């Protein structure tokens, strides 16, 4: 079973929030993770879902795994921005 199966997208805060990087993925109801990507990266959500599914499939749910998933998702966001040619800060713009 994929960890992010049936994940949903929540409304994203702003980069000015001191914990914006923790908001990219959070623990939702029923122990499911909720992806909360910056607006300009949401179109690529299936890519990070697949990556997280491969890494965490069959692993127990734990706070350490959530922290690792948060770091992986943030790294993916930064890398994806570089690949598509936008600044990470610009990924928070909702004009996509």
What is the reported pLDDT for 64? 85
In a domain, 62, yes or no: yes
10 in Cβ contact with 27 (< 8 Å): no
In a domain, 45, yes or no: yes
What is this structure's pTM?
Answer: 0.74
pLDDT tens for each residue of the chain, 96 residues long: 234 433 434 444 444 555 556 678 888 877 788 898 999 999 999 999 999 999 998 887 788 888 899 999 999 999 999 999 999 888 888 765
In a domain, 35, yes or no: yes
Residue 36 backbone phi and psi in degrees, to 5: -140, 65
Q: Write the DSSP assignment of 52-71 as a string of letters.
A: HHHHHTTPPP-HHHHHHHHH
What is the reported pLDDT for 26? 85
Q: CA 47 to CA 42: how far, in whole Å?
A: 10
What is the reported pLDDT for 17? 54
In a domain, 60, yes or no: yes
Q: How many domains does the chain have?
A: 1
What is the reported pLDDT for 72? 94
Query: 84: domain range?
Result: 20-92
In a domain, 43, yes or no: yes
In a domain, 67, yes or no: yes
In a domain, 4, yes or no: no
In a domain, 8, yes or no: no
């Amino acid at each position: 079973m994929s960890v992010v199966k049936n994940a949903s997208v929540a409304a994203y805060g702003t980069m000015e929030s001191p914990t914006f990087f923790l908001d990219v993925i959070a623990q939702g109801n029923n122990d499911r993770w909720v992806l909360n990507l910056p607006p300009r990266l949401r179109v690529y959500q299936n890519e990070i879902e697949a990556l997280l599914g491969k890494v965490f499939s069959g692993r127990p749910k734990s706070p350490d795994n959530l922290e690792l998933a948060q770091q992986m998702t943030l790294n993916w966001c930064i890398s994806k921005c570089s690949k598509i040619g936008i600044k990470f800060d610009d990924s928070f713009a909702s004009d996509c």
